[in-house]
């Protein structure tokens, strides 16, 4: 690692590793390797947001178990510092596929939410300057 003044501010570790994760799956036992897969994918995707993402809560439910159809629902909620939480929900028959879809949608939703809020803040900070009226 190259020593810079910026390193003193942000520190050597990745800020995404400070994200806390909760996994809830009341309808079935979540395999530990799948829970680890979801965490790794979320850390990789959400690292670009730095300290703005503080916590991710994942809920998995089994639906239409014996009747077929889309078997697993994944609901993810990203809690952001100084912002409202962002929620997404996906359905798929494959557990890893539903995780992949949810993580991609959550990343897009967090980016959109932070960009939208940043735009509002910039608009509030701008001053409207109107040219003076020329002689009447």
> Per residue of the chain (136 residues), what is the pLDDT tens digit?
455 554 444 444 554 458 899 999 998 899 999 999 999 999 999 999 988 999 999 999 998 756 666 689 999 999 999 889 999 999 999 999 999 999 999 999 999 999 876 666 555 566 566 677 776 5
Q: What is the pLDDT of residues 29-50, one digit of tens each?
A: 999 999 999 999 999 999 999 8
| pLDDT value, residue 1 | 46
| pLDDT value, residue 27 | 87
| pLDDT value, residue 116 | 79
Query: Closest by alpha carbon to 34, among 48, 15, 21, 19?
Result: 21
| pLDDT value, residue 7 | 46
Strand pairing category for 72-80 and 53-62: antiparallel
Other Cβ atoms less than 10 A from the Cβ of 56: the count is: 24
What residue ranges define each of the domains in the chain, with the CATH number in brackets? 13-122 (3.30.160.100)
| pLDDT value, residue 9 | 46
Spatial distance between the Cα atoms of 82 and 20, rounded to a whole number of angstroms: 16
């Amino acid at each position: 690692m190259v020593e810079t003044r910026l390193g003193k501010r942000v520190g050597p570790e990745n800020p995404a590793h400070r994200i806390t994760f909760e996994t809830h799956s009341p309808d079935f036992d979540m395999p530990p390797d799948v829970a680890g897969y979801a965490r790794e994918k979320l850390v990789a995707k959400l690292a670009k947001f730095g300290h703005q993402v503080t916590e991710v809560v994942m809920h998995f439910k089994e639906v239409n178990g014996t009747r077929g159809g889309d078997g697993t629902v994944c609901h993810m909620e990203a809690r952001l510092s100084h912002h409202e939480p962002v929620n997404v929900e996906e359905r798929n028959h494959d557990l890893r596929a539903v995780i992949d879809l949810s993580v991609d949608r959550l990343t897009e939703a967090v980016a959109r939410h932070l960009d939208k809020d940043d735009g509002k803040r910039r608009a509030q900070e701008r001053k409207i300057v109107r040219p003076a009226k020329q002689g009447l």
